[in-house]
Chain A
Amino acid sequence: MNIVINGTVCYASPGETVLSAAKNNDIYIPSLCYHNKTGPLGRCRVCMVYVEGMNGLQSSCNLPVREGMIITTDTNEVKAHQRLVVDLLLSSGKHDCLSCEQNGNCELQDVAYYLEIERPSFNLSPPSIDIDETSEMVFVDRSKCIQCGRCIEGCNNTVVNEVITFAQRGFETKIEFDNNIEMGKSTCVQCGECVQLCPVGALIDKNAISKGRPWELEKVTTICPYCGVGCQLELHINRKINKIIRITGVEKAPANNGMLCIKGRYGFDFVGNKDRLTTPLIRNSEGKFENSTWDEAITFVAKKFKNIITEHGNEAIAGLASAKVTNEDNYAFQKLIRREIGNNNVDHCARLCHSSTVAGLAASFGSGAMTNDIKDINKAGVILVTGSDTTAAHPVISARIKKAVRDGKSKVIVIDPKEIALADYAEIYAAQRPGSDVAVINCLMQLIIKNGWEDKDYIQSRTENFEDLKKEVMKDKYSPENVETLSGVPAAKLHKIAELFAKAKTGSVFYSMGITQHTTGTDNVKSIANLQMLCGNLGKPGGGVNPLRGQSNVQGACDMGCLPNVYPAYQKVTDPKSKSKFENFWSKSLSDKIGLTITEITDSIIKGTIKGLYIMGENPFISDPDQYHTIESLEKTEFLVVQDIFMTETAELADVVLPASTYAEKTGHFTNTERRVQRLNPALKAPGQAKDDWEIIQLIANKMGSDWNYQTIRDITTEINAVAPSYAGITWDRVGKEGLQWPCPTVDHPGTPYLHKDQFTRGLGLFHAIEFKEPAELPNDEYPLIMTTGRVLEQFHTGTMSRKSQGLNNIAKPMVMISVVDAEKMSISNSEKVKVITRRGEIETNAFVTKRIQQGVIYIPFHYAEAPANRLTINAVDPTAKIPEYKVCAAKISKIIS
């Protein structure tokens, strides 16, 4: 439609506001409180315009356009009112631009400039200096606050952390945290959404203060290196000192829509850390590392690898790829192992997180990835979250779930041994005993079938083997009463969960390590698949089985074939057709023998069959179960090459250490948890001689006598397009701002937001009759507690990246969560130092006494080298997926008597 602004005919779309129409037509209307994401708040009253036929002035931020509307924004009268409002605002508070961090990026400054306000005309007593610097990451200066309400809107309605609110009223109005306590003591999780939304200098990034003016900083868009959500970041770079100064989230990015978590926004110190590896290192005859040139190091590695192959055969080398490097890096890595070394001994940490998902879902549906996408989370009527501390491990996805609840679109059911933060938003929360998942899900299915709530048409037309499932789950041992005894979930609650979930028009399941890291991991996953097929929740928007991937590119590393049984895009090494395809493409004969998994590699080294190990960007020392066993294996490795960004605990044991670049220094692609391939853009120069991973791999390959000729990383992307059918259409030039979701088989395919639409990858969905089995190690009199492990919000994985940030370390220290009941029994008080002991070893850490964990269970985050949870965990694995049972082992706690 057409409207007239200041005498010019402008096009406006129906439903749009006058402010946005003006903006789209390049007409500036000053405004302060409006932000795309928080919408019209109507607080600042600066965007007032005159509309013909309407009384007085109108606020343009919430005024919908009408055909033929005649609007004036710049007459003397309109500007006089706008000016007086801004004048009144400038007259209160401390608006000194001179040393303000926001100078040059301040919307109040822009508005004052446009309205030509030199000095405020009034002198409203400013609120007394009110600075709150208690938070690690956020600096609050209330005297600069203009009470626009954006931070409050963002905190409550976007990230739904519900910390910030207004206190007092009238002239005394101010923002406060929780019930008027300091930000640092509040429940704030320091996601920084408020900082990103603040139009002035009231909420700013504490660690960026006086490190660079906005106009000195260059912005580069890239992808977050932490979890698998795939948040798009904008790095603000100071070129002069080659450093990241601050990070903001990219508004309207498909996965995060501007949101970030504390790690993504503030955990970037590792990039410029002084301990970065800057030169290749070779262990000398005295056992000390010595700097070397790239040529020396590569020559040494190639020679050693070749020697091992000559002496012990080409099965004697294995490689661990990385969930933290790009698709291209991973592709090159597995190609090196398969083509140049000549075996399939390539695996990576997906083995330790979602190998059971891949195995279970491949069996049920024919492919094993998150079926649905992030943006449609709110299309599910009921969201079942189980075995996932979403708020800690995938904060932005948890924000979306909370938002769906807050908007009344979805209800949440949480089934988790720990009363996770999402439980506060749940309609029903149930605490199951760790390891009882199959029993619980079978019971839910029994109740659904008994009550006739299953989707009969769907079962009939889309699935097979339903009778087998029915026979199993209808057994008396899965009756609610029996399952109550077994899992601790009250029978009545099981009834309620079954009813709420089954009756939802669309139900989705989100899960993570709590489901996968068991000796019954594959069974757990298959059970979830069963439940979702039973309810007909697959192949539609908002539904699905949604395993949340824990690392920035763990999905991509799997897709690229960094698994011992598949080539890129899950083409089986045992399938002669696939093998010959790759043999032709790589012009080399390949092995059709399934390679070794991580856990098998560790054992094989101890057994002596694996001699050489090439680790790229992994830290098994901390991440793998039964640490003493892992160390023994690493120490026993005849030739260990570690390629990383820091001297990790694992690298300390290596023979050669190769310096690699971080996410901020390279390009390439990450594939996030919803299968979205997104581009990294280089922002900084890598320190010293550090190189991109693919370059290092190519050097090794060629030094071993091969013929690789990738000029740029784009050449690898093109090769991936050629060999991986689901990536065929995801070409370098097509990956735009939004990225593309695989499968994307052709260059004109739009990508696939959700899988299994009209049929499953394998045709019909396959029900599996799953019998409940107990975990490998159960508590007894000597070890009476169940120990389980996981992550905390502020740290990541083995800490290689997150523990380089002092702020993060200050917030999240090693601890063991113990229930109030157990703590009381043992008279352990909060923060008291305790010893946790299992059959594998013992650690010392601080007790965190809480009601959030159930009686008889303790929880230890595994990030900390000084109190490594994995010294305690058991090396029992799932028979199919070989995933270790991190989530259950028997433990005891004792007080430390000094």
Chain B
Amino acid sequence: MKYFRSHILIETDEASVQQGAREVMNALKQELAKHNLDQEVNVLETGSLGFFERGVCIAVYPDDVIYGNVKVEDVSSLVSEHFLKGRPLTHLVIERSEKKNIPLGYDKRIVLENSGNIDPEEINDYLGVGGYLAWEKALLEMKPEDIVQTVKDSGLRGRGGAGFPAGIKWSFTSPIKGVQKYVVINADEGEPGTFKDRLIMEGDPHKLLEGTMIASLAVGATKAYIYIRGEYKLCINRLQRAIDQAYEYGLLGKNILESGFDLDIEIETGAGAYICGEETALIESMEGNRGIPRTKPPYPGVKGFMQNPTVVNNVETIANVPAIINKGADWYRNIGTAESPGTKVYTILGDVAVPGLCEVPMGTTLRTIINTYGGGMKKGSRFKSALVGGAAGIFLGDNMLDVKMDFHNLAEYKAVLGSGAILVINDSVNIVDMLESVIKFFRHESCGKCVPCRNGNEQLYKSVRKIKAGYAGEDELDKMLLIADTMQKTSFCALGQSLLLPVKSALDMFKDDFLSYINKKKAINK
């Protein structure tokens, strides 16, 4: 193995590449070569470093300096300052708050532990940090039922939004004998403001594979699919590369590590419909049909893909599994809260100083996330609300800033954790405008299968437009609430049921915003 004095990790996630990460990387390599530093300084690609709106970011180790907004024209001064003169190029250095060395959350990250630290395109890097040990352990030392039990004991809950216990889901499928079973990884990340799964896959694709392998073994599936949004080109490429490498190393295929277990993993790409994140619609889509949810029961665990038992899990859920197998259920239970053990990856957007993502223990408050990992509010702005959980989420007011966020606690407040997207809104924003875009989104994404969602969203959209145009009276608000309530009670799937939360929370807490539209027009009309 070759040793280097320094390593430059350049993030080449989708967003960075669009902002010129590859050009910066090439320039760096040339510049280093020009100074004969190419044998001393290693340039590597890695996943996201966790910063957003900071252009191309690079990390330099072991110096632990992170530069942001790096452009091609900065490269020559960066090389000469940092690597020749040995001092950081200060104006590009990203100042980090409190825990200065941890951009991606706290120091005991699980699913993002390797992101930004290893080359996601190199299986040896993953193996070097203990990768695939859990797979080996599960395969050679554990019985499927032990794996299911361990995951059950760990209390791992689905991170796709609903928070259903993963071990219990597996336990429905695991005992079914004599039929082809499947594991499907739901990587159709479509919730607005959510990109956690993308960064897990871009930064550490092997971790997802390892989790998938263990899940497949646990439920007895010899075929697994990763259903991924078609737009996630880089994820697809990196996952495919990772799958190829795993086959090459004998970690996939027939009779893996001479255990007698066979497993194939294949990537399926989605075509961009939000509804295909719903597990049965996802399965329909995989079968080549129109992506619309199926009637349940039967649940996919009993009759899923091709009418065979199928376990569908979210990317983040599965990425937790290797660590649980390695370190045990008790270790996992010690992280987070009693009802929701483990960590959660949040994406922080909107009016915060440093938008990005972080992985923190369950139970972390909204205030901590905004202040610590989001760098506080944007200069000169004040917190009004946060839309937590994506479009299907809830508007939280400042009274909720200190609530410990996990599946259980939020439910107490009739709120949800959802996908973990946190959209921070400052006090100059009218919530009605926010709500309009939420409804517009659902109106656009409704698959049209059931009446309440199909026509209810249309009517809600009409109502909110009417309010904004000033043609509505206060009775319009009651109408909206009635419709959203019926949609929640009668819609076929979670899509149509989701509207009640944003509509009701907006109306409950920010009624003045609605009235301002209603009264403004009235005033003009007078």
Contact = CB atoms under 8 A, between A and B. Distances in A.
Contact of A169 (B447, B451, B452): B447
A31 to B, nearest CB: 12
A869 to B, nearest CB: 42
A43 B450 contact: yes
Interface stretch (A85-93, A555-563, A723-731): A85-93
Give the most central of B457, B483, B486, B492: most A CB within 10 Å. B486
B490 A57 contact: yes
Given A42-B295, A173-B454, A166 B490 contact: no
Contact of B490 (A45, A149, A173): A45
B290 A92 contact: no
A171 B450 contact: no
Interface in A159-174: 165-166, 168-173
A48 interface: yes
A184 interface: no
A84 interface: yes
A171 B454 contact: yes
A124 B458 contact: yes
A48 B448 contact: no
B486 A92 contact: no
Contact of B462 (A89, A124, A165, A173): A124
A169 B448 contact: yes
A166 to B, nearest CB: 6
Contacts of A244: none
Contacts of A254: none
A172 B488 contact: no
Interface string A29-48: 00000000000111111101
Interface string A117-129: 0000010100000
Contact of B295 (A40, A91, A166): A40
Contact of B443 (A81, A88, A170): A170
A147 interface: yes
B476 to A, nearest CB: 11
Contact of B452 (A88, A122, A146, A168): A88
Interface string A1-27: 000000000000000000000000000
A105 interface: no
Contact of B446 (A57, A62, A149, A171): A171
B443 A171 contact: yes
Contact of A168 (B448, B462, B483): B448
Interface string A75-107: 000001100110011011000000000000000
Interface in B450-491: 450-452, 454-459, 462, 482-483, 486, 488-491
B290 A48 contact: no
A171 B458 contact: yes
A91 B290 contact: no
Contacts of B295: 40-42, 62
A111 B354 CA distance: 55
A91 B463 CA distance: 14
Contacts of B455: 88-89, 91-92, 124, 171
Contacts of B520: none
A48 B443 contact: no
A38 to B, nearest CB: 12
Interface residues of A, number: 34
B444 interface: yes
Nearest to A48: B490
A56 interface: yes
Nearest to A62: B295
A69 to B, nearest CB: 15
Interface in A537-593: none
Given A91-B459, A122-B459, A171-B457, A45 B448 contact: no
Contacts of B490: 45, 48, 57, 59, 81, 85
Contacts of A62: 295, 297
B445 interface: yes
Given A171-B446, A171-B457, A43 B452 contact: no
Given A48-B490, A62-B295, A124 B459 contact: yes
Nearest to A149: B449
B445 A170 contact: yes
Contacts of A81: 486, 489-490
A149 B447 CA distance: 13
A45 B491 contact: yes
A172 B448 contact: yes
B448 A88 contact: no
Majority SS of interface residues in chain B? helix
A166 B448 contact: yes
A395 B408 CA distance: 58
A146 B462 CA distance: 20
A80 B443 CA distance: 23
Contacts of B447: 169-170, 173
Contacts of B446: 169-171
B448 A85 contact: no
Interface in B487-501: 488-492
B483 A84 contact: yes
B450 A45 contact: yes
Contacts of A91: 455, 459
B488 A85 contact: no
B491 A165 contact: no
Contacts of A48: 489-490
Interface in B326-385: none
A815 B486 CA distance: 58
B441 to A, nearest CB: 11
Interface in A167-186: 168-173
Contacts of A122: 459, 462
A122 B456 CA distance: 10
A85 B451 CA distance: 7
Give the most central of A48, A56, A64, A170: most B CB within 10 Å. A170
Contacts of A171: 443, 446, 448, 454-455, 457-458
Nearest to B497: A56
Contacts of B458: 92, 124, 170-171
Give the most central of A80, A88, A89, A173: most B CB within 10 Å. A88
A165 B290 contact: yes
A464 B443 CA distance: 71
B265 to A, nearest CB: 25
Give the most central of B297, B444, B454, B491: most A CB within 10 Å. B454
B492 A45 contact: yes
Given A84-B486, A88-B459, A122-B459, A170 B451 contact: no
Contacts of B290: 165-166
Contacts of A92: 455, 458
Give the most central of B275, B482, B489: most A CB within 10 Å. B489
Contacts of B491: 45
Contacts of A166: 290, 448
Given A81-B489, A165-B290, A170-B445, A43 B459 contact: no
A168 B444 CA distance: 11
A42 B452 CA distance: 12
A851 B489 CA distance: 54
A43 B443 contact: no
Contacts of B457: 170-171
List the 6 closest A-B pairs by CB distance, nearest first. Answer: A173-B448, A88-B455, A170-B446, A45-B490, A84-B486, A171-B458
Given A57-B489, A173-B449, 17 more contacts: A41-B295, A45-B451, A48-B490, A56-B488, A57-B490, A62-B295, A84-B482, A84-B483, A84-B486, A85-B490, A88-B451, A122-B459, A147-B451, A169-B273, A169-B446, A170-B454, A173-B454
Interface of B: 273, 275, 290, 295, 297, 443-452, 454-459, 462, 482-483, 486, 488-492
27 contacts: A41-B295, A42-B295, A42-B450, A43-B492, A45-B451, A45-B492, A46-B451, A48-B489, A56-B489, A62-B295, A62-B297, A81-B489, A84-B483, A89-B451, A146-B451, A147-B454, A165-B290, A166-B290, A169-B275, A170-B443, A170-B457, A170-B458, A171-B455, A171-B457, A171-B458, A173-B448, A173-B449
